[in-house]
Structure 1
């Protein structure tokens, strides 16, 4: 009896190139294709509801940091006081003795 061949999978995350095998996992796309992803991108794929193919995978996992922030408008009083407390100009005057 012949052994069933398993597909050769990438040795790095398809989205970011992370190559430490301890942090890699495999995800199955809706087309049936199996891809290698790091844990972060596998989680992002699950939260996004999956992808049909590798082309759509790139769109789903693309960098979303330049999108409009959720908190549009002014901050609340707590946010303002925290921002003032940890502002860089205040930290410069409070140097620790060496």
Structure 2
């Protein structure tokens, strides 16, 4: 949109920079806008470029959040399925420890 030439090495630097600063943003609503606002000046792009992303970010944000929730659900199911703890025993132990307090 701004007709800025980017070499392959600059593109790799942008990719690595955004990968590092974007950890944990999928679980935060509108978290990507904060990451992009912080990242754009570091990689030499104009801050006004954030306004272009603002129009499509709500739809993309829903996709990121859905992917995050799905991944957390799958991880929980896998751990619950292959874990050694019996959920009923664990619940009873928790109830007993709460009664002792």
Question: Is the shorter-chain TM-score for this pair beyond 0.5, marking a shared fold?
Answer: no
Structure-2-length-normalised TM-score: 0.30
Instruction: Specify which structure has the higher proportion of helix.
Output: 2
Structure-1-length-normalised TM-score: 0.30
Instruction: Specify which structure has the higher proportion of strand.
Output: 1
